[in-house]
Structure 1
Amino acid sequence: MSPYWMDARSNSAFLFAFLIISSFPSTFADLSDPCPNFANLSTAWTNTRGEWVNSSDWALVKPILLSPGETSGPGFLCGFHCHYESFLCLFAILIFQDVYSPQLVWSANRNRPVRFNATLRLTEDGNLILADADGTFVWSTNTAGKSVSGLNLTETGNLVLLDRNNEMVWQSFDHPTDSLVLQQKLVRGKKLISSVSASNWTHGLFSLSITNYGFDAYIQSNPPQLYYEWEYSFLTSIQYTNGNLSVYYRWEDEEFNFTPFAPIPRTLSAQYMRLGSDGHLRVFQWQETGWQEAVDLTDEFLTECDYPLACGKYGICSAGQCTCPGASDNGTIYFRPINERQTNLGCSAITPISCQLSQYHSLLELQNTSYSTFQVDMQSTDVEICKQTCLKNCSCKAALFRHPSNHSSGDCCLLSDVFTLQNMETLNPTDYFSTSLFLKVENSPTENVVEKKAGNARIILGSSLGALFGVLILIGAFIFLFWKRRDSKEAEEDHLDCIPGMPTRFSFEDLKAITENFSCKLGEGGFGSVFQGTLSNGIKVAVKQLEGLGQVKKSFLAEVETIGSVHHVNLVRLIGFCAEKSHRLLVYECMCNGSLDKWIFHGNRDLALGWQSRRKIILDIAKGLSYLHEDCRQKIFHLDIKPQNILLDEDFNAKVSDFGLSKLIDKDQSQVVTRMRGTPGYLAPEWLTSIITEKVDVYSFGVVVLEILCGRKNLDRSQTEEDMHLLGIFKRKAEENRLADIIDKCSEDMQLHGADVVEMMKVGGWCLQSDFARRPSMSVVVKVLEGLVDIEDNLEYSFSYSPRPPKIAGMGNKAADAATAEPIPSALSGPR
């Protein structure tokens, strides 16, 4: 069963659906109030059980707007699109022909469906807002205050917010899901993301995007694994037209286009393009009785075995046939098909790999087998080091070693996910490179029972009595500590139940079911691990399991008390928690693009974020912090702002996360005395006095701004001593009036917007002033970023950036050592 769109259909469910659908109008002409294509401000629509149109994909459609034209030809509608079994709904745009069988081509809330009585509102200030039946915020265009005058669905299927001058303020074409329609462009920085399946419309594994250097299709993993890469420099977009998929590129301020893909059949009927849940890019069109595949664009370049899930995970593909990895040299079988009749579903390990049993891990070498991806993790190494590195890294599932045929030294690639492998029947001995593939497997530990002969009876008796006496003492101490700890835990649990506005409380058994017994690990944080889960309503979540003792308890309480009662679009939402016996877990909304550090520190030109994306991320962080500092019932100091604690959703909207070190203070307090907490490199200088204000978050924000714009960490030990510290380089370049020198060189778009980036660097410099009184508040930063306030002149660039702070009174050398320890990133979401 898929997370929230049920694949199995019983006879009774089918009959129930048929009765419901047959009672609804089957064409738009039957509707008593025909839908317009334009809506004015202060208009609202409710997802009631009213007039519907049935859809061939087992969904019900309630139209809100219809594109201009006749209902007897190709057209578009937007409205609520609901699955007939679960009655969970999307606000969506659909394409239709003769009003039958509309097909989903765009949705606003594919990862957060709503129920009946949900409401869509075009507010008086120009914001289009979707809220669930209970009033919970779900989605918005974020266009309040932008002079919006109305909402329009165009004849090309573009949902547009227009201003008073009929200029576009927002359009759905800028936010594609898994499909493109005729005349729609996919621009650099945006991507198509497949659905999980035909009946589960949430984010799947496949993505397709335009980079500065080509057209890439990849499967989400850590790191992303490319399965199709078409290289061409200076690409700006692709556009889907009737007959072609055109590629646009810019050269010397002029834009050109050409069509490298297979021709698309021209038609007068409805047509759309979709990235499928299997990784294929197909064009569909209406042909007399239904939707048919017109062309598969990726099949022109890829064979059956080139698709990452052609044979599922660990499956070996050979001429379209799927098998599992064979036995080891000693005959041990490690893998078996998930389904003997459907071998394309992949293979599973007979003995699952456990990090707690790493001593039983080994590597199985596969002969005549290749893999579609090779991204270098270790350069100029040898095969044994590559293999040992994989064995020591729990997240590593396979190692690839590539080396020149005439040399033993080469490059190593470590895979955290193993998708379809490819069988190479004959390897060309003249190939310049040779590649070896090693899969991590686990051997079942063998228990050996060894009988020992009896020794001296007197010694045995004395030892037994002594041991028994010691055990009795230990049992008494254990009972005392157990009751004391249980009383403490019960008091903590009762305290949580008394806090107003708390999120949902889960039992540990609930969370085991949600995470399928914690089987899908997304990452590790400072105090535990994060696992992927799916709630009963289909919403994907990230479950953070805290591990440890006293400090974990403090972190858990701080997180629940802080973020549990606050709600903001730029704060990661805490959905629930578990405080049961020794278990401490937090349940968050899942952020599919992971943490910010993975997007700015990788040095990969193909995945580099553009200027507008980075500018939006900086603004989102500022808005989240401004809310914490000024708009909550109590002031909230986050105290650990860094890229690892900024998470990105599918549209690269940034949200502040990880409130384990945060501190709540009363509104009338201007400062607070507390012990040093946070991550080295992001700590404001006033931490050395232990008397802080919210300006410590402003300082950390300034460091993050520079890291985003420069594409490097604030402390990079791989650089020369002169260039090791980002703040030191920033100070030097600012004094030389050469800040453009340190703009991220992995992004051509950042270089093109050099003047804007330098202005943004000055915002970061303002936040980094050594005197906290000279730093702006976060609300002022937001106004600066929105162009409402100017940056202060005469900034000081005497930043403190020593990696090792001086001793802190009363804390000794251990505090300084802890403060300079390498930070451990925390993740609430899967990696990219």
Structure 2
Amino acid sequence: MRILKICYCFPLFLILNCYPTTAQPPFDYPTANLSTTWSNTDSLPHSVNFTDGSRVRAILLRGSFGPKFACGFYCNGTCTSYLFAVFIVQTNSGGGIVQPSVGFPQVVWSANRDHPVSYGAMLNLTVAGELVLQDADGSAVWTTNTTGKSVAGLNLTDDGNLVLFDTNSSPVWQSFDYPTDCLVPGQALFQGQLLIPSVSTTNWTVQKDLFSLQVTDTGLFAYVGSNPSQTYYSSSVSTISRNDTNTGRSYVRFLNGSLSFFILSVEPGGPDKVITIPRASSAQYMKLMPDGHLRVFEWQGSWLVVADLFNGYLGECNYPMACGRYGLCSGNQQCSCPVLSSPRIDYFRSVNDRQPNLGCSEITPLTCNATRDQVFIELENVMYFSILADMERVDIEVCKQACVNNCSCKAALFQYGSDSSSGDCFLPSELFTMMNADPNVIHRNASAFVKVQNVRSPPSGSFSPSGPSGSKSRSTLGVVLASTIGSVVVLLGVIGFVLYLIRKRRRATQMEEEYIGDVPGMPTRFSYEELKAATENFNKKLGEGGFGAVYEGTLEDGSKIAVKCLEGLGQVNRSFLAEVESIGSIHHVNLVRLRGFCAWKSQRFLVYEFMSNGSLDRWIYHGDREHTLDWECRKKIILDVAKGLAYLHEDCRQKIIHLDIKPQNILVDNNFNGKVSDFGLSKLIDRDQTQVMTTMRGTPGYLAPEWLSSVITEKVDVYSFGIVFLEMLCGRKNFDKSEAEESWHLLAVLQKSWKEEMLVDMVDRYSEDMQTHGPEVVEMMKVASWCLQYDFTKRPSMSTVVKVLEGLAKVESSLDYNFTDPRLQKTTVEHENDKDMTPLLASVLSGPR
């Protein structure tokens, strides 16, 4: 018998990994020496932002021109946390990481899924031969624990294996030994190792106690968590050819074209089991997904799923979480909850009415000390992904009674045998998705008896028809009957009133829905199914504001969108639609474009263009920002915002006052163009109106003084713009308790600095570039001061601000430097953590926050 030997050979490149920031690293640098440190900052040679919001900072890169493995720091979405990971990126002929139109990067291994690190984290290959990941605060997050093991260096192999090697080029530690949720071609999954998916595509946290994939000595098995675990996929192998002395570890290896099963001590030329996979023509990897699917991805101009290895065996409905816990899957993955049909009683409710695939929850939880109040919901001809018999050849009543007697049993699953009188009984302690069997296939007839809890009724009184207490009993009976009849009459009245309200609301909704189609000039109306498909079932949340969550999506034409789900706004009405029409009809390069909307049942969605770099507050505040913007970039964003507001105030059919200008409502695209967003508090006024009365609304700290009189003009936007302008110049918030107490209020600091002629001290001290341009920044502070005049009639229009910023006009010379209003300062302190000061009506349009 030939023995399998696994050898690791890779060259030792004695190179330095500390490159000057102006120098280009070599196109292939897969190795690092001891005593090398990398910092998770933009100073790393290969720091690339992608249009989907993800970012990589590579420290090792293998090869050039095509999909290649790299390792380093990776983040997705808002990029507030990072993984140290091995990922696949697209490279050009010069070895630089490039950004294709779709699909990169792809993480295939990570060290710290449960403990992501922040900007400024450090990775250190110590002189003792240990790879250590530390967060920005210096706390240790992850380590290879290889101190004292004669490590000579770090290498990233062609296969994507991150290896610490010794002086003989033998592996001391390797990432292949610690798989996460992926396998790459050439990687093995050994007995005792697990693939465990993340919670979701945007939440990297390890999905505990749910799905896992592992190898045993008899094959490959996928489990769904419970106690004990339930098998939902198995690929068994024969053991006939093995003798009793064979004690080698079993494993599967992901090869180019197959997933093959081996025994370590047996020559691998003839595997016992082969699962065929389309042979790769480019980069490929296998991943256990959060929904339990095992998918193979391949780069074919974009990342495509070329194989779903369980689907041929299972089908969509046979996945344990296809319809969540307690869910019932029918046909094309239509999900519902079990219900008692006669009499009809609902014992379950959907976890989320908008997403029925998330499963069902018990209305009344099962109670072990009230078993006599438990009943079964019988579901006929229902299949389950796993029937591991707890009892064999028993009748159905014995099976049900066994579940009654077992407190942890959630259902009695019964599958009939060949004689149709007895069968196998399975008593799961956790019930996942059940499947309605094909009505045309009855040879595998099975039933499910789902245990549910009845709400126990109080015990009835006993009445004696004769004897000394007979009269009293009859009197009591009369009172009970009268009370019962009265209660029934009241209940019927309440039911009738509720039905009346429901019918009235339905009629109103129908009229409103009809009105939507009659309004001319409306932006695109998307269907709910279109938005559901574009956002992958609302899976990737970008953020959450006062009126609901915002999700990232991609339309069929490949364009990226941000979809905001409006919550708590009630039904659509004409004023709401009028505002959608007005905002949807404006188009300016410095306004976030409203691409359309969706009105589906009681749900309301707004569809905006996607802004890859998020909101401005991520980039300007010291301590919060991920990257320091240089002076030219800040000037451009300031001018962009000014142009957008000038358009709203002066170039629209109706004058639009935004009313909530702040950094969170200024979004930045991938080229750092600034765009005004969130018209949720906007006020539309006619051109012949000079001012309007309205209740106070907006964000404390950005409110103009005239809000206290409730008579406002577009100059409130000019004031808020001045605050944002000043924050960008100073690199700090308008109200910041991290400063000395006398410097909490930025306007107070500005007023004092004007008097002492020390404005240069206010320039962002954490930016060397801003300090270099100090005199020019000070001149810009005069523009901001003009916008912050206490008397709104003395503030410039936004079109004048644009001219000043473009050098076509000069700043007013006689400015009032008394910027502060004690009343507004008090409001700012009291509400520093608030968002909007006033609730909004259903008619108010809310954009992405």
Q: So what's the TM-score if we normalise by structure 2?
A: 0.50
The correspondence for 1:220, drawn from 70, 76, 100, is: 76
Residue of structure 2 equivalent to 1:703: 723
Preserved contact between residue 55 and residue 76 of structure 2 (Cα < 8 Å):
yes
- CA distance in 2 between partners of 1:476 and 1:189 (Å): 69
Report the Cα offset of residue 222 of structure 1.
Answer: 3.9
Report the Cα offset of residue 564 of structure 1.
Answer: 0.7
The correspondence for 1:323, drawn from 195, 209, 230, is: 195
Alpha-carbon deviations, 1:592-637, whole Å to 9, x = none?
Answer: 2111122223615752222222222111111111111111111111
Residue of structure 1 equivalent to 2:105: 277
Report the Cα offset of residue 477 of structure 1.
Answer: 2.9
Preserved contact between residue 527 and residue 546 of structure 1 (Cα < 8 Å):
yes
Larger radius of gyration: 2
Report the Cα offset of residue 519 of structure 1.
Answer: 2.6
Aligned counterparts, 1:8-407, within 5 A: 193=48, 203=52, 205-208=54-57, 217-227=73-83, 277-278=105-106, 305=175, 311=181, 323-324=195-196, 327=209, 331=227, 343-348=286-291
Indicate the SS of the match to 1:501. Answer: coil
Residue of structure 1 equivalent to 2:819: 799
Report the Cα offset of residue 506 of structure 1.
Answer: 2.2
Report the Cα offset of residue 672 of structure 1.
Answer: 1.7
The correspondence for 1:823, drawn from 835, 838, 843, is: 835
Does residue 621 of structure 2 align to residue 678 of structure 1? no
Report the Cα offset of residue 500 of structure 1.
Answer: 3.6
Report the Cα offset of residue 547 of structure 1.
Answer: 1.2
Preserved contact between residue 622 and residue 781 of structure 1 (Cα < 8 Å):
yes
Question: Which amino acid in 2 is paired with 1:344?
Answer: K
- CA distance in 1 between partners of 2:829 and 2:486 (Å): 43
Preserved contact between residue 304 and residue 319 of structure 1 (Cα < 8 Å):
no
- CA distance in 2 between partners of 1:761 and 1:306 (Å): 56
Q: Taking structure 1 as reference, are residues 819 and 304 closer, same or farther at Cα in structure 2, changes over 3 Å only?
A: same
Residue of structure 1 equivalent to 2:675: 655
Indicate the SS of the match to 2:74. Answer: strand
The correspondence for 1:456, drawn from 449, 453, 461, is: 461
Report the Cα offset of residue 709 of structure 1.
Answer: 2.3
Residue of structure 1 equivalent to 2:591: 571
Q: Taking structure 1 as reference, are residues 513 and 319 closer, same or farther at Cα in structure 2, changes over 3 Å only?
A: closer
- CA distance in 2 between partners of 1:332 and 1:272 (Å): 46
- CA distance in 2 between partners of 1:673 and 1:632 (Å): 20
- CA distance in 1 between partners of 2:821 and 2:44 (Å): 33
- CA distance in 2 between partners of 1:758 and 1:301 (Å): 53
The correspondence for 1:525, drawn from 545, 548, 564, is: 545
Residue of structure 1 equivalent to 2:632: 612
Residue of structure 1 equivalent to 2:752: 732
- CA distance in 2 between partners of 1:762 and 1:297 (Å): 58
- CA distance in 2 between partners of 1:460 and 1:470 (Å): 15
Indicate the SS of the match to 1:797. Answer: coil
Does residue 635 of structure 2 align to residue 635 of structure 1? no
Deviates more, 1:330-339 or 1:621-630: 330-339
Preserved contact between residue 542 and residue 550 of structure 2 (Cα < 8 Å):
yes
Q: Taking structure 1 as reference, are residues 463 and 560 closer, same or farther at Cα in structure 2, changes over 3 Å only?
A: farther
Alpha-carbon deviations, 1:99-123, whole Å to 9, x = none?
Answer: xxxxxxxxxxxxxxxxxxxxxxxxx
Residue of structure 2 equivalent to 1:370: none
Preserved contact between residue 188 and residue 209 of structure 1 (Cα < 8 Å):
no
Preserved contact between residue 195 and residue 288 of structure 2 (Cα < 8 Å):
no
Does residue 736 of structure 2 align to residue 716 of structure 1? yes
Preserved contact between residue 684 and residue 700 of structure 1 (Cα < 8 Å):
yes
Residue of structure 2 equivalent to 1:469: 489
- CA distance in 2 between partners of 1:670 and 1:301 (Å): 70
Report the Cα offset of residue 698 of structure 1.
Answer: 0.6
Deviates more, 1:710-719 or 1:488-497: 488-497
Q: Taking structure 1 as reference, are residues 637 and 241 closer, same or farther at Cα in structure 2, changes over 3 Å only?
A: closer
Report the Cα offset of residue 749 of structure 1.
Answer: 2.5
Report the Cα offset of residue 485 of structure 1.
Answer: 3.6
Preserved contact between residue 784 and residue 791 of structure 1 (Cα < 8 Å):
yes
Indicate the SS of the match to 1:344. Answer: strand
Report the Cα offset of residue 219 of structure 1.
Answer: 1.9
Alpha-carbon deviations, 1:391-414, whole Å to 9, x = none?
Answer: xxxxxxxxxxxxxxxxxxxxxxxx
- CA distance in 2 between partners of 1:553 and 1:479 (Å): 22
Does residue 622 of structure 2 align to residue 773 of structure 1? no
Residue of structure 1 equivalent to 2:780: 760
Preserved contact between residue 534 and residue 541 of structure 1 (Cα < 8 Å):
yes
Q: Taking structure 1 as reference, are residues 508 and 228 closer, same or farther at Cα in structure 2, changes over 3 Å only?
A: closer
Report the Cα offset of residue 489 of structure 1.
Answer: 3.9
- CA distance in 2 between partners of 1:773 and 1:766 (Å): 11
- CA distance in 1 between partners of 2:177 and 2:587 (Å): 41
Report the Cα offset of residue 190 of structure 1.
Answer: 12
Could you tell me the percent identity over the aligned residues? 48
Question: Which amino acid in 2 is paired with 1:752?
Answer: T
Alpha-carbon deviations, 1:553-591, whole Å to 9, x = none?
Answer: 699546513321111111111111123442221111111
Does residue 621 of structure 2 align to residue 601 of structure 1? yes
Question: Which amino acid in 1 is paired with 2:528?
Answer: F
Indicate the SS of the match to 2:536. Answer: coil
- CA distance in 2 between partners of 1:553 and 1:191 (Å): 51
Alpha-carbon deviations, 1:758-796, whole Å to 9, x = none?
Answer: 222222111111111111111111111112222222322
- CA distance in 2 between partners of 1:308 and 1:793 (Å): 67
Report the Cα offset of residue 277 of structure 1.
Answer: 2.3
Indicate the SS of the match to 2:727. Answer: helix
Alpha-carbon deviations, 1:402-439, whole Å to 9, x = none?
Answer: xxxxxxxxxxxxxxxxxxxxxxxxxxxxxxxxxxxxxx
Question: Which amino acid in 1 is paired with 2:834?
Answer: E
Aligned counterparts, 1:537-576, within 5 A: 537-549=557-569, 556-557=576-577, 559-576=579-596
Alpha-carbon deviations, 1:314-363, whole Å to 9, x = none?
Answer: xxx99998611664998476999999986535544776797999999xxx
- CA distance in 1 between partners of 2:749 and 2:163 (Å): 45
Higher relative contact order (CA 8 A, sep 6+): 1
Question: Which amino acid in 1 is paired with 2:106?
Answer: D
Preserved contact between residue 558 and residue 662 of structure 1 (Cα < 8 Å):
no
Q: Aligned Cα RMSD in Å?
A: 5.2
Preserved contact between residue 679 and residue 847 of structure 2 (Cα < 8 Å):
no
Q: So what's the TM-score if we normalise by structure 1?
A: 0.51
Alpha-carbon deviations, 1:108-144, whole Å to 9, x = none?
Answer: xxxxxxxxxxxxxxxxxxxxxxxxxxxxxxxxxxxxx
Q: Taking structure 1 as reference, are residues 296 and 596 closer, same or farther at Cα in structure 2, changes over 3 Å only?
A: farther
Residue of structure 2 equivalent to 1:786: 806
Can you give the 5+ residue segments of structure 1 that lack an aligned partner in the other structure? Answer: 1-178, 181-185, 196-201, 230-239, 244-263, 265-270, 281-293, 361-440, 808-815
Alpha-carbon deviations, 1:123-182, whole Å to 9, x = none?
Answer: xxxxxxxxxxxxxxxxxxxxxxxxxxxxxxxxxxxxxxxxxxxxxxxxxxxxxxxx99xx
Residue of structure 2 equivalent to 1:147: none
Residue of structure 1 equivalent to 2:307: none
Q: Taking structure 1 as reference, are residues 319 and 586 closer, same or farther at Cα in structure 2, changes over 3 Å only?
A: same
Q: Taking structure 1 as reference, are residues 669 and 612 closer, same or farther at Cα in structure 2, changes over 3 Å only?
A: same
Q: Taking structure 1 as reference, are residues 504 and 787 closer, same or farther at Cα in structure 2, changes over 3 Å only?
A: same
Report the Cα offset of residue 688 of structure 1.
Answer: 1.7
Q: Taking structure 1 as reference, are residues 605 and 691 closer, same or farther at Cα in structure 2, changes over 3 Å only?
A: closer
Can you give the 5+ residue segments of structure 2 that lack an aligned partner in the other structure? Answer: 1-26, 29-40, 60-70, 86-90, 109-155, 165-172, 197-206, 211-224, 235-253, 260-274, 276-284, 293-319, 326-350, 362-429, 434-449, 463-476, 838-844
Question: Which amino acid in 1 is paired with 2:76?
Answer: Q
Alpha-carbon deviations, 1:272-295, whole Å to 9, x = none?
Answer: 967852379xxxxxxxxxxxxx99
Indicate the SS of the match to 2:54. Answer: strand
Preserved contact between residue 78 and residue 614 of structure 2 (Cα < 8 Å):
no
Q: Taking structure 1 as reference, are residues 554 and 756 closer, same or farther at Cα in structure 2, changes over 3 Å only?
A: farther
Preserved contact between residue 507 and residue 578 of structure 1 (Cα < 8 Å):
yes
Residue of structure 2 equivalent to 1:108: none
